Chains A and B, each alone.
Chain A
């Protein structure tokens, strides 16, 4: 079974600085999807960024970018120019391309604190 590991339970960053959240996963498939979700105290899970494994180019969404290393099965999230509103739990997730079963796995999460 595919597993997703977030080795950093907590991270802290100074406002306006850059922080990188780590995620590794285990899979035997060659095609899949990877996601980062943000969950602020309001508990609404918000999609931050998505990466398709067949794309070599790293996904970017404004201040959020990923470093996707397929061979190393690593999918880290970089947040640039951190803002107070970035404080939240961040979950890394893996999804199989096979839609007829549930194969969406979440990491345990990383709690990000942003210091003013």
Chain B
């Protein structure tokens, strides 16, 4: 079946612009996660959605970052007024409980 998909695959933007990153989870998965991975580094948790519960936003690095999940399915991560330090790969994962399945990520480059 279809896995987690993310779009765009790559995004280049100018400092100060807003960007939206999209994640389509595996159908039926109630949990959805966003992570950030800087070059050669591990995963930094950003935000977690579980069913209809309030999202866990504890990992968002600043108020320029926000995310929503519409209808319990597709999620959008928005970064406002992008900065060069926002350059990274943004990974989305979905799951039903024990295990997370990852998308291919969006590589964001802020010039």
Residues of A within 8 A of B (CB): 33, 35, 37, 42-47, 50, 52, 91, 95, 99-102, 104, 106-109
**B50 to A91, Cβ gap below 8 A?**
no
Known: A43-B89, A104-B45. Contact between A99 and B97, CB under 8 A? yes
Residues of B within 8 A of A (CB): 31, 33, 37, 41-43, 45, 48, 50, 53, 56, 58-59, 89, 91, 93, 97-105, 107
**A108 to B42, Cβ gap below 8 A?**
yes
Shortest B25–chain A CB gap in Å is: 14
Contacts of B105 in A (CB 8 A): 43-44
**B104 to A100, Cβ gap below 8 A?**
no
Shortest A97–chain B CB gap in Å is: 8
Contacts of B45 in A (CB 8 A): 102, 104
Q: Considering only CB atoms, which chain A residue lies closest to B45 in the complex? A: A102
Contacts of B33 in A (CB 8 A): 102, 104
Bound: A104/B41 CA distance, A: 17
